[in-house]
């Protein structure tokens, strides 16, 4: 495990402006999508609190309608489409959760579309997308490859591409999770958030920092695919190969010019990178103590919590999703 200090020692006025803008749009999104998404529980964990000598709360996005936070961003983005855009249809690329969210939101709003997923996406996530009426098509082995193909398909067919993270409306939708956290726990000290493309931490982190710049935002990634952490460390988006990981929801590259990169620079205080053994152990511990099924990306945030000194702090860990195949779950439990 390695903890990396964020590359930027102080937040510039320009960065503060971006954070405040995202926070404002997140509050607007929370109001806009309230009738279409669940307000998920924020629960106190006596077991984790006692072990870590802290006040530990879990934000249960695994209990969201589609089993992940992604429904927030997808719903906000789709609700902002114009009439002609709705008629033309939409295209999404996803390792699963964003695809299920887009399919669910499109079904509710009467919009048609196609969802591209990487070839090795878990069967549970593919079945979930299809269960919401989504037209699932496979392409690529890395999330970035899938995204680039989906973008080309959208342009060639006159459709709207719905990015899983590189879109201000999607980021604002994810930020609604942070709005709920502050409504329930305004005195939070630290937040642990799993990071893939950066939409969740960009939105939630902006809301938290706009509320109190002293809140520590911890970016959590698997050692098998620490693309954002290493990119922030380098000061530019890097092209890096991803290794197999339980945290398939955060695996893959970051699109060039992604708006989440400067946003992550502005809101993340520290990066925590955890290995596969730590992720699996954290998943087992969480599921045994909390009784909830969680996926690998959520395990990353729990593992990062366990590897960080939090004594005396009021801590929130975003349990970003619970969509995991029975096979993967069995492999985690038997390790």
pLDDT at 147: 80
3-state helix, strand, coil in the chain (%, to 5): 50, 15, 35
How does 132-162 read in b/e, with b if 16+ C-beta sit within 10 Å? bebebeebbebbbbbbbbbbebbeeeebbbb
Give domain 2-68+168-334's CATH number out of 3.40.50.1100, 3.30.300.30, 3.40.50.1360, 3.30.930.10. Answer: 3.40.50.1100
- What CATH number has the domain spanning 70-162? 3.40.50.1100
Higher pLDDT residue, 255 or 213?
Answer: 213
Do 308 and 3 contact (CB within 8 A), yes or no? yes
Q: How confident is the model at residue 6 (pLDDT cuts 50, 70, 90)?
A: very low
- The whole-angstrom separation of Cα 299 and Cα 281 is 8
**Residues 158-175: what's their mean pLDDT?**
96
pLDDT value at 8 more than 50: no
How does 249-268 read in b/e, with b if 16+ C-beta sit within 10 Å? bbbbbbbeebbbbbbbbbbb
- Residue 335 CB burial class (10 angstroms; 0-12, 13-18, ≥19): exposed
Digit-coded pLDDT (tens) for 273-295: 999 999 999 999 999 999 999 99
pLDDT at 43: 98
Residues in the chain: 335
Q: What percentage of the chain reaches a pLDDT higher than 90?
A: 80
**Residues 217-229: what's their mean pLDDT?**
98
pLDDT value at 171 more than 50: yes
What are the DSSP calls for 268-307, one per residue? --EEEEE-HHHHHHHHHHHHHHH-----HHHHHHHHHHHT
Q: Which of 195, 196, 188 is nearest to 216 (CA)?
A: 188
What is the residue-averaged pLDDT of the chain? 93
pLDDT at 327: 87
- The whole-angstrom separation of Cα 309 and Cα 324 is 29
70-162 and 2-68+168-334 share a CATH fold: yes
Q: Which of 164, 12, 19 is nearest to 95 (CA)?
A: 164
Instruction: Give me the residue spans of the domains in the chain.
Output: 2-68+168-334, 70-162
Higher pLDDT residue, 93 or 73?
Answer: 73
**Residue 313: CB partners within 8 Å, gap ≥ 6?**
54, 55, 189, 190
Look up residue 228 and give its two tokens. Answer: 């954002």
Give the DSSP letter of residue 119: T
How distant is the alpha carbon of residue 142 from its chain centre? 17
Q: How confident is the model at residue 11 (pLDDT cuts 50, 70, 90)?
A: low
- The whole-angstrom separation of Cα 35 and Cα 57 is 25
Q: Which of 327, 232, 241, 246 is nearest to 286 (CA)?
A: 246
Digit-coded pLDDT (tens) for 233-267: 999 999 998 899 999 889 888 988 999 999 999 99
pLDDT at 35: 96
């Amino acid at each position: 495990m390695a903890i990396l200090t964020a590359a930027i020692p102080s937040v510039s006025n320009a960065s503060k402006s971006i954070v405040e803008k995202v926070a404002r749009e997140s509050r607007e999104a929370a109001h806009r999508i309230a009738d279409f998404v669940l307000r998920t529980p924020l629960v106190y964990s006596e077991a984790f609190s006692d072990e870590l000598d802290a006040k530990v709360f879990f934000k249960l996005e695994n209990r969201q309608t589609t089993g992940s936070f992604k429904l927030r961003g997808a719903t906000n983005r789709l609700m902002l489409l114009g009439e002609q855009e709705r008629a033309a249809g939409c295209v999404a690329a996803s390792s699963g959760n964003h695809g299920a969210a887009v399919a669910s939101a499109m079904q509710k709003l009467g919009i048609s579309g196609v969802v591209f997923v990487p070839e090795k996406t878990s069967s549970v996530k593919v079945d979930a997308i299809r269960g919401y009426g989504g037209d699932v098509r496979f392409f690529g082995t890395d999330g970035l490859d899938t995204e680039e193909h989906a973008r080309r398909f959208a342009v060639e067919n006159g459709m709207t591409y719905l990015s899983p993270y590189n879109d201000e409306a999607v980021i604002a939708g994810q930020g609604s999770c942070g709005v709920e956290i502050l409504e329930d726990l305004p005195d939070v000290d630290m937040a642990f958030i799993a990071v893939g493309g950066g939409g969740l931490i960009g939105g939630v982190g902006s809301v938290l920092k706009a509320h109190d710049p002293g809140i520590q935002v911890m970016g959590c990634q698997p050692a098998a695919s620490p693309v954002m952490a290493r990119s922030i460390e380098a000061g530019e988006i890097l092209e890096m190969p991803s290794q197999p990981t339980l945290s398939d929801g955060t695996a893959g590259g970051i699109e060039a010019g992604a708006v989440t990169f400067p946003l992550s620079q502005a809101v993340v205080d520290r990066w925590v990178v955890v290995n596969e053994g730590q992720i699996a152990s954290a998943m087992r511990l969480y599921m045994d103590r909390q009784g909830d099924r969680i996926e690998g990306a959520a395990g990353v945030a729990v593992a990062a919590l366990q590897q960080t000194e939090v004594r005396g702090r009021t801590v929130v860990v975003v349990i970003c999703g619970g969509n995991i195949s029975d096979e993967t779950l069995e492999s985690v439990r038997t390790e």
